[in-house]
Amino acid sequence: MSGVSVGPGGVADAGEILTVQRAAYVAEAQRYADPLLPPLTETLDEVRAVLAGPTIVLVARAGHRLVGSVRARVAGDTAHVGRLAIAPDQQGRGIGSRLLAAVESACTGRVARLELFTGAESADNLRFYARHGYRIVGHRPDPNGVRLAVLEKSLVSPARSGP
């Protein structure tokens, strides 16, 4: 992972973000036999609109190449993290972990909890998020009926008990 930098994404990154996102989510589409997963049907204009704000968008770059991205939308006391995507040939090298940690840092102090979802049958992803402190709090279907696991992580330190 040496030579990979993480920082804010801008509107000019929309094309590369969409390209990486589509490539990354094909494996999920195949797992669920659903080519219309929302990360695959999102349009370039929709990605541009997200990048225009107020959603936090972070990207990972290896040299000039964009190799990953993640988003977080703050609503009340919750940051909704999503669209974490790493270019297929760069997966398993720690870049996703770095992006997730960076987006958590960007939200710290603004919210009490982070929420995200992934496919309920996506064992690798569930293991990845569990390792990063997320726990499953429920399940729901996505717009196409794919069963999702909803996960959350508290950013509030547990209250100390006793005197």
Ligand X SMILES: CC(C)(COP(=O)(O)OP(=O)(O)OC[C@H]1O[C@@H](n2cnc3c(N)ncnc32)[C@H](O)[C@@H]1OP(=O)(O)O)[C@@H](O)C(=O)NCCC(=O)NCCS
Binding residues (CB under 6 A) for ligand X: these are: 24-25, 27-28, 84-86, 91-97, 118, 124-125, 127-128
- For residue 61 the two structure tokens come to 């770059």
Instruction: Please tell me the distance from the alpha carbon of residue 97 to that of residue 50, in angstroms, as a whole number.
Output: 22
Nearer to ligand X, 24 or 111 (CB): 24
Distances (CA, A) of 46 to 17, 41, 113: 11, 10, 26
Nearer to ligand X, 79 or 118 (CB): 118
* Cβ neighbours of 88 (radius 10 Å): 14
Q: How far is the CB of 40 from ligand X (least distance, A)?
A: 11
Q: How far is the CB of 156 from ligand X (least distance, A)?
A: 23
Q: How far is the CB of 132 from ligand X (least distance, A)?
A: 9
Residue closest to ligand X when measured from CB atoms: 96
Q: What are the helix (H) ranges across the chain?
A: 14-32, 38-41, 44-51, 95-107, 123-131
Nearer to ligand X, 85 or 103 (CB): 85
Q: How far is the CB of 101 from ligand X (least distance, A)?
A: 9
Instruction: Please tell me the distance from the alpha carbon of residue 116 to that of residue 73, in angstroms, as a whole number.
Output: 11
In Å, how far from its chain's centre is CA 104? Answer: 10
Nearer to ligand X, 39 or 155 (CB): 39
